[in-house]
Amino acid sequence: MGEAERGEAAPRQNVTYFCSHEHRSVVTFSVEAVVPASWDCPRCGLPASLDCDNPPPAPKIEPYKTHLAYVKERRSDQEAADILDEALQTLRTKRKAGEIIF
């Protein structure tokens, strides 16, 4: 009983952190502790900050995804070009056949 009372008597502060996924994490610090400006979100692992209106962007994952999306975009463009080329050749073949008939 004495120890529990001593623990509750220790002054604490609740600090709320916000990540870019709009997770709100309340972390309890001792009032004597230096509160860090950023904290890893316990739910998604992204860095979270004290400013709810301006959470830090995801630094490591987003650029990789953007690059991957860029590569996929280029690949699909190439596929689209191939499909268009194939369609044009089919059209030309049909047109030639039509010229023979008419």
Residues forming contacts to Zn ion in the complex (CB under 5 A) are 19, 21, 23, 41, 43-44
User: In this complex, which beta carbon is closest to Zn ion, that of residue 42 or of residue 63?
Assistant: 42
User: In this complex, which beta carbon is closest to Zn ion, that of residue 61 or of residue 69?
Assistant: 61
Least Å distance between CB 25 and Zn ion?
Answer: 7
Report the alpha-carbon distance of residue 24 to residue 28 in Å, rounded.
Answer: 13
Least Å distance between CB 45 and Zn ion?
Answer: 7
Least Å distance between CB 35 and Zn ion?
Answer: 18
* Whether the Cβ atoms of residue 52 and residue 23 lie closer than 8 Å to each other: no
Residue 92 DSSP code: H
Is the dihedral angle over the CA atoms 58, 59, 61, 64 positive or is it negative?
positive
